[in-house]
Amino acid sequence: MRFVLVGLAVLCLIVAFVTSSPAILGFCLLAAVLLSLGAVFVFAQARIDSTQHGDIYLPTPEERELMRKTMEQRKQAASAAPAQNDDDTRATP
């Protein structure tokens, strides 16, 4: 599809240079611009698709529960650590 659009755009440019009719010239130039723009988007989409990873990992409910518990433990440890440090500094005269 990509090369078909490029080929049609080139064909429109060739016809635009060869013709002597202003109507055909205008139509061919407009078609060449639109086909070129379409080809650019198709090439960009192909590039994006080639670099995109199709593997998606969804954790099981047990793994999600374990992750949630781990996050809660980290939050509790993080909130308890500054309080302990504050107590240590206050106790020192």
Task: Please write the tens of the pLDDT for every residue from 19-59.
Answer: 999 999 999 999 999 999 999 999 999 998 888 777 778 88
Q: Which domain holds residue 77?
A: 61-93
How many angstroms separate the Cα of 33 from the Cα of each of 27, 38, 40?
A: 10, 9, 11
Q: Check whether residue 72 and residue 45 sit in a common domain.
A: no
Q: CA neighbours within 13 Å on the CB side: how many for 79?
A: 5
Q: Check whether residue 41 and residue 67 sit in a common domain.
A: no
Q: Check whether residue 47 and residue 16 sit in a common domain.
A: yes
Task: Please write the tens of the pLDDT for every residue from 52-78.
Answer: 777 778 889 999 999 999 999 999 988
**This prediction's pTM:** 0.56
Q: Check whether residue 76 and residue 45 sit in a common domain.
A: no
Tell me how many degrees the CA angle 42-15-12 measures, rounded to the nearest 5.
10
The residue count of the chain comes to 93
Domain count, the chain: 2
